[in-house]
Amino acid sequence: MPIVESTYKPPMIFRNYHISTVYSAMIRRAPVAQQRERINLQDGDFLDLDWSFSEERSEKVLIVIHGLEGSTKRPYITGLAKYFTQKGWDVAAVNLRGCSGEINRHFRSYHAGATNDLQEVVDHILNKNKYATMAFNGFSLGGNLMLKYLGEDREIPKQLKAAVMVSVPCDLHGSLKQLEKRENFLYAKRFKIKLQNHLRQRAQHFPNQLTTEEINACDSLLDIDDLYTSRAHDFENALDYYHKNSSRRFLENIGVPTLLINAWNDGFLSPACYPFKIAEESKYLYLETPEYGGHVGFMQNKPETYTEERAYQFIHSHL
């Protein structure tokens, strides 16, 4: 498919990568009504979905997944849910394991390639609600997970018509190296603190598998992935985890119309996260690379973000 020319022209203040990224994550407000549903998984664990519904009975559902250490309460999730419900869609926002405010039952939690959990969500929603149309929208780590799902050797349900992914670290190791750069020091530190706090809570529940001393000794995100993510999810080490779960390896196999929006000034993304050659040779992968947008930013002089509008436009055009 040809590369998509972006029309995103942000207000001057949001051309700054840091302002766009921080404002959208910490300052923006986009309240929406949500109803929680708990799914009991086949391995005995659970996932919590937060539903937002259109005013009238809908046959269309959008499944949404948040980013690293996020949740369905983040404004990029609630803003999207509000916009789509106004357009007649139901929205099922997925809290990955351990991200809904309650620790999950197992030592394992979530990671960037946990597509079996997404499969259970899809099956549950289609079996229970009988939607005729389904679409995906993923952000950052959640976008990587959804792209991997779409490109794996699996049967994609016929109801799944289109997908939109925003600010996706398609190359996990490369993106980790980007976060380690000096200009991203505060972001990396914030992620590390949040992940360590998450692991300290987990250590209280699983003291034989994780200790506070091990967690405190982690000096980087790679250390955390070596200590916990790889060990808890049966990977050899952090590098093995990054390699096997980077969605870039699966992009050429995607068979559902999919739009990937990665801003050029997204400091979280490595060069490999802009897969021009793959998109040019694919029948289904569309790549849009706005000059601005930051990481999950894309603010405008209106309530909805550019990517919320683009998600609806793209998905609607493929129904």
Instruction: Kindly report the number of other CB atoms within 10 A of residue 42's CB atom.
Output: 9
Q: Answer whether 92's CB lies under 8 Å from 49's CB.
A: yes
Burial classification of residue 23, based on how many CB atoms lie within 10 Å of its CB (0-12 exposed, 13-18 middle, 19 or more buried): middle
Q: Answer whether 52's CB lies under 8 Å from 91's CB.
A: yes
Amino acid, single-letter form, for residue 85: T
Q: Answer whether 218's CB lies under 8 Å from 193's CB.
A: no
Computed over every residue of the chain, the mean pLDDT equals 97
Q: Answer whether 203's CB lies under 8 Å from 103's CB.
A: no
pLDDT tens track for 198-228: 999 999 999 999 999 999 999 999 999 999 9
- The pTM for the full model equals 0.97
Sign of CA dihedral 116, 60, 30, 300: positive
Task: Spell out the domain ranges in the chain.
Answer: 12-171+247-317, 172-245
Provide the CATH topology of domain 12-171+247-317.
Rossmann fold (3.40.50)
Supply angle C-alpha 73, 122, 231, rounded to 5: 70
Q: Answer whether 292's CB lies under 8 Å from 263's CB.
A: yes
pLDDT tens track for 168-192: 999 999 999 999 999 999 999 999 9
Sheet with 160-166, strands from edge to edge, namely 35-40, 46-52, 90-95, 60-65, 133-139, 160-166, 258-261, 285-288
Helix or strand holding residue 188 (H, E): helix 185-205
Helix or strand holding residue 308 (H, E): helix 306-317
| Short-list 226, 250, 227, 251, CA closest to 238 | 226
pLDDT-derived band at 2, boundaries 50, 70, 90: confident
Residue 234 predicted with pLDDT over 80: yes
Taking the C-alpha atoms of residue 294 and residue 54, their distance in angstroms, rounded to an integer, is 30
Sign of CA dihedral 314, 315, 318, 319: negative
What value does the mean pLDDT take over residues 125-139? 96
What value does the mean pLDDT take over residues 58-69? 97
Question: Which residue matches tokens 């086949």?
Answer: 42
pLDDT of residue 1: 61
Tell me the CA distances in angstroms from 47 to 97, 98, 264, one per residue in order: 6, 8, 34
Percent of the chain surpassing pLDDT 70: 100
The SS3 assignment for 47 reads strand
